[in-house]
Structure 1
């Protein structure tokens, strides 16, 4: 028995070699997996950031589109209201001339004819026309004795009257009309001059000196400028 070979054979050493290989290889596989996972997380974060940026851009475009749609709707509604209010402007401008003729006919009627049926019919027609104007938002401009307003009046001549403040309407040659808040036709008037500067009535809060003399300064600026402003507004 002393001659037996007690050295281990290669076959007997194989299991030991396999165990060592597994133990040494395990940490490397784990490291590779961690590196691969880190790369995937970085790509995912980059993609998320890109999607968030695209979402923010899309949200901004949507908000701008909604705002533009609301502006278009408001503009269309405003144009609709203006069409309802001012759509008859041209027709109304022609009709105020008819009202002028009816008024002239009544004012030029002799006293002995005022009780006739014809004149009564003309008077009734004139009143009905004024009622129709009122329903349509058309009103006569009150000019006589009022401060000259270049937005409503057109000065045709001057009246030298030192007893009256300068810049007052002394005579109305043709009535003016407004439709709602727009000028339909300016009143043709004669304006006083030669008197003291017009002072507006004092209210609870006293107006400034510039405001009190604004009417006179507007008149003194010249009739050409007033006519230009009237043409622009009409």
Structure 2
């Protein structure tokens, strides 16, 4: 049985009113919205550029300040060698030595002073330690000294001077710290003994 004789049903067309499907947007409101979005994007871009400029200036300043850190560490080794050379000389050799020995000693002292001056010129400064409270960020404790006359945690001896460039530590001061002395004054922070 075939449906050849059947008449096809007419397709029904539904007309959609364009005003109901998509409400018409007021061009003034659309422009105001777009203007607000563009203004917001512009302000955000300006703020990002200002932050980038400040960050770049900070990085340039840090680079200028700390670019010689590696070289300064190496120079500290040479300065330490000169200092050790002076400490191993007996005191009588300085006073009663012949002219050549005195000239050699004077030359070593002048060289050490000049190296210290040049390091200071480029921002490398010694870290104060003796008599101060132990600071694990600037000092390296090598040993403890039983000393009842000093508050516990006070640096009583500097084995090797420490140096900093700007706010960064190039080399911590190697120190001896008082143990078992009078307690810290009230209000002082406790010394971190785990270091």
Query: Normalising TM by the smaller chain, what interval?
Result: 0.7 to 0.9
Which residue of 2 is the match for residue 192 of structure 1?
Answer: 178
Shift of 1:167: 1.0
Match in the other structure for 2:103: 117
Q: Write the mapping of 1:1-234 to structure 2, written as runs, cut at 5 A.
A: 46-114=26-94, 116-199=102-185, 209-210=186-187, 212=188, 214=189, 217-220=190-193, 222-223=194-195
Work out the CA distance in 1 between the residues paired with 2:105 and 2:184: 41
Q: Give me the whole-angstrom Cα distance separating, in 2, the residues matched to 1:198 and 1:186.
A: 23
State how many pairs are aligned: 167
Partners of 1:111 and 1:196 in 2: how far apart? 37
CA contact (8 A) 1:150 1:218 kept: no
Deviations 1:138-164 (A, max 9, x none): 111121222211121111111112232
Q: Partners of 1:55 and 1:149 in 2: how far apart?
A: 57
Shift of 1:69: 0.9
Q: Determine the C-alpha separation between the residues in 2 that align with 1:105 and 1:198.
A: 38
User: Does structure 2 retain, via aligned residues, the 8 Å contact 1:113–1:119?
Assistant: no
Distance 2:134 2:143 in 1: 12
Once the two structures are superposed, what CA deviation does each residue of 1:88-143 show, in whole Å capped at 9, x if it has no partner?
11111111111111111112112243261111101000000111011111111121
After TM superposition, where is structure 1 displaced by more than 2 Å over at least 4 residues in a row? 111-115
Deviation at 1:187, TM superposition (A): 0.5
Structure 2 unmatched runs, 5+: 1-23, 96-101
Q: What is the TM-score normalised by the length of structure 2?
A: 0.80
Compute the displacement of 1:194 (Å): 1.1
Aligned-partner Cα distance in 2 for 1:163–1:60: 66
Instruction: Name structure 1 gaps, 5 residues minimum.
Output: 1-42, 200-208, 224-234
Q: Hey, which of these two has a bigger chunk of helix by percent?
A: 1
Kindly report the root-mean-square deviation, in angstroms, between the aligned alpha carbons of the 2 structures.
1.7
Given that 1:114 and 1:120 are in contact with CA atoms closer than 8 Å, whether structure 2 keeps it comes out as no
